[in-house]
Structure 1
Amino acid sequence: MKRALVTGGSGGIGAAICRRLAADGYFVYVHANRNAAKAEALVAAIRADGGQAEALAFDVTDADASRAALEALVADAPIQVLVNNAGIHDDAVFPGMSAAQWHSVLDVSLNGFFNVTQPLTMAMIRSRWGRIINITSIAGLTGNRGQVNYSAAKGALHAATKSLSLELASRGITVNAVAPGIIQTGMIDGVFDKQAIESMVPMKRAGTPEEVASVVSFLASEQANYLSGQIISVNGGMI
């Protein structure tokens, strides 16, 4: 049985990805940092549905803690599906953005990508099969007012996705990004009302976490063997 790790697995999109990968037959490690209780509850729900899962807690911004947790995880077998989903936003117009807001957002999304992916790469290479899937954002493609930090982090992940895909292509490992648009999670509550969504999204609705998870499921599958270095935006036709 292949093993999958989903960072930020206790959140709205992350939880849907965890449930879908478990249903696809993977043993899923549900990562959390501050929401360890939610990760444990999700693991219990996955097991109740017949899947296999385990909760894992560490801070992706802490390089040493991340490496210690992950090296122990791959001591005997590789993680072959990695979904880098952990991320935060801390919005402000750029003239009023603090250094803390800038660094915290980049630290989770961008440094967190390195801190998690790099310790897992050699074991994945030795297995000659792997999937690295980075969950980014439409903001990394188009930019967004009030989100210079968030857009910068996600845009950098797009560039990292393309570069890493070139390095790993000959090793049987694909690297892709999924860039959601407006998805119905707690992150959009109080930000976009129904009228705003209808004016912004040609499909006149927000997407669901399950629709994002379906794309991740495909990218993790054998059917996606020849697809790498791509940014797939799930956005209801916004771009």
Structure 2
Amino acid sequence: MIDLATWNLTIPVGVPAAVIDTPILAGGYQDDYFQSRDGRIFFWAPASGSTTNNSVYPRSELRETYADGSLRNWPYSAANNMLSATARITQVPGSGMLAFSQIHSKQNTSPPLMLGYQYSPQSGYGNVVIAFRGHPADADSTKIVLSNKIRLDQDFSYEIHLAKNGLLTIGLFEPGGAVKTWSRSLNKAWASHGLYFKAGVYTLDNSGNETNAGAASFSQLKVEHR
């Protein structure tokens, strides 16, 4: 069972998109965009959904909080910060792309890290892609393909580790047991930023009707600050 006591949830309804506070979410909240059952949590975000103020794309996505619902924003130097998860991408929009995890910043609209999935209908597999922004002022993120062997509806596990010294490490555990890793250091300009983890579905498409959507489920999701 995934503990939802330290997350809130953004869903793609309302203007701007609605936020479900932590106590309500942890109390068993369910809707068309988020479900929790059989030990898994399910996210769905149609391309036609509403967006947050600083985005053009819809999301059904968790955001890190404290148990009372107040937002949790941490300097990376205060602890070793880890997110570990087992996820399954079940639908991609027409663009073929969605994001399933982020490290975001309170002070910047562009995150230092986004983990995405890009499906290729020609191969039948999807790429797990890292979008890394080493400095807060960088205009664009650097894109790194970590794996090209993840099918739709197939579980994979991953870890995000941002150490006290700013070293960011991504570990991906492919179906079949192969392990892929990638590391890079954040620029020290990020040290003054309040950072937070996100997980769920951020649908990187905003065209078409609600049949054009991103969806995913998680059977494991855990955050630690040691």
Structure 2 length-normalised TM? 0.29
- Pick the structure with more strand per residue: 2
- Pick the structure with more helix per residue: 1
Q: Which has the larger radius of gyration?
A: 1
